[in-house]
Structure 1
Amino acid sequence: MIRINLLPHREAKRKQKQAAFVALMALGGLAGVAIVLLVGAWNASRIAVQDERNLVLKTAGAELDKKIADIKTLKEEIEALKARQQAVEDLQGDRNQPVYLLDELVRQTPEGVYLKSFRQTGQLVTLNGYAQSQERVAELLRNVSGSSTWLERPNLTEVKVATLEKSKSGRKVVEFQMDVQIKRPREQEELPGKPGAPAAGATVAKAP
């Protein structure tokens, strides 16, 4: 017996293909969504790792900045302590400056020069005196600027011809004023007790 299929087989095949296409598209969509989710999760994990690294670096940088600030503060404190220590040492050394100054003036004042007064303001000493001639004043300048252990940077501020006080003959001399700087003991290369160190009991003036 022969059977004849009267159903429209072409329409059935078309519907079958459409169903397969829809199923394939759905499967592809699901696969795409899965891939997107996987890539997004991977990217999120990498971003989280990088954020953790950035946080570690930021924390380390903050700690380093704090240490640098502490070191800077410590250096400032050390410098302040050094300055105070130096000030104390200078004060202790300055107690002997009058002895050094008197002894050095005796050493460096040449014959023919008479120092009538001097005034010390800090490290600046102002000398006033008389000299037989300007050459004697120049010699005093050379002595202080060249071979003096405790005096330096002489500056002649005034020089003029004057008459000696209480001089019956009206003798003319050179009156001068000079500024010099006195060095601190820490600035000396030679220690007290070695050659060139000051001796007590010195006098200032040498008669013209």
Structure 2
Amino acid sequence: MILINLLPHREEKRRRRKQAFFAGLGAAAVLGVVIAGAWLLALQHLTAQQLARNAFLSAEIAKLDAQIKDIASLRSEIEALKARQRAVEDLQTNRNVPVYLLNELARQTPEGVYLKSIKQTGQVVAINGIAQTNERVSEFLRNTQHSSPWLERPELVEIKVAAQTAASSRDAARDQRRLYDFAMRVSLKPLQPPADAVAPARGAAPSRAPAKKP
């Protein structure tokens, strides 16, 4: 027996295909919404975590800034204390400089040289004196240049004939001596006082250097 389907099967197939297509679209839309919602929730969670990290970092940075300010203030206080300590040490050292200077001049002044005045201006000392010969002045300059732990850079400013004195009244023409006035400058070395200079410095003259007699 032969069966013949007289219904519009092609239209029925199209309708089923359309239904399947729309059902797939709906499922895809629902799946997309679910995925988008899950992604949005994940992003919100990550954003919340990052905001929490940022807040924690901001709080720690604020703590570190406060600590840095404290450290900076402590450093400034330490520098101020060091400056005061250096000022006190410099004052203590400079207080004894005239004594060491007079003692050193007494040690380096050769025979035949007599000091008349000593004037210190900062680290420069101006010296005026009388010498028997030019060689005595040169020896004084050499001593302050090479043999002194306190003095340096000696400079002869002026030397001239001061006066003539008779050694004896019987033969004045033969024993007549000529004296020389000289002026020089010398600089103080920026050194700590040597240990062996403290003891002899205590016995140095307070106003002028003792001159050695020929």
TM-score for the superposition, normalised by structure 2: 0.75
Shift, 1:5, TM fit: 6.9
Q: 1:142 to 1:170 in 2, by over 3 A?
A: closer
| 1:190 corresponds to which of 188, 195, 212 | 195
Shift, 1:182, TM fit: 5.9
Distance in structure 1 (CA, Å) of the matches to 2:137 and 2:197: 29
Shift, 1:20, TM fit: 1.9
Counterpart in 2 of 1:83? 83
- Per-residue Cα deviation, 1:170-192 (whole angstroms, up to 9, x for no partner): 825251222221656xx134166
CA contact (8 A) 1:134 1:174 kept: no
Shift, 1:26, TM fit: 0.8
CA contact (8 A) 1:108 1:143 kept: yes
- Per-residue Cα deviation, 1:134-158 (whole angstroms, up to 9, x for no partner): 4322322332233334x22233140
CA contact (8 A) 2:124 2:186 kept: yes
Q: Percent identity?
A: 43
**Where in structure 2 are there 5+ consecutive unaligned residues?**
167-175
> What letter matches 2:20 in structure 1?
A
Distance in structure 1 (CA, Å) of the matches to 2:134 and 2:69: 60
2:173 matches 1:179 = no
CA contact (8 A) 1:128 1:176 kept: yes
2:205 matches 1:205 = no
Tell me the C-alpha RMSD between the 2 structures. 3.2
> What letter matches 2:72 in structure 1?
K
Shift, 1:111, TM fit: 0.9
Q: 1:136 to 1:192 in 2, by over 3 A?
A: closer
> What letter matches 1:40 in structure 2?
L
Aligned 1:89-104 pairs, distance under 5 A: 89-104=89-104
Aligned 1:13-162 pairs, distance under 5 A: 13-149=13-149, 151-162=150-161
Q: 1:172 to 1:142 in 2, by over 3 A?
A: closer
> What letter matches 2:202 in structure 1?
A
**Where in structure 1 are there 5+ consecutive unaligned residues?**
none
Q: 1:193 to 1:173 in 2, by over 3 A?
A: closer
> What letter matches 2:34 in structure 1?
A
TM-score for the superposition, normalised by structure 1: 0.77
CA contact (8 A) 1:115 1:206 kept: no
- Per-residue Cα deviation, 1:92-137 (whole angstroms, up to 9, x for no partner): 3433333222222111111121111011223432211222334322
Distance in structure 2 (CA, Å) of the matches to 1:64 and 1:115: 65
CA contact (8 A) 1:163 1:171 kept: yes
Distance in structure 1 (CA, Å) of the matches to 2:187 and 2:156: 10
Look up the SS of the partner of 1:39 in the other structure.
helix
Corresponding residue pairs, total: 201
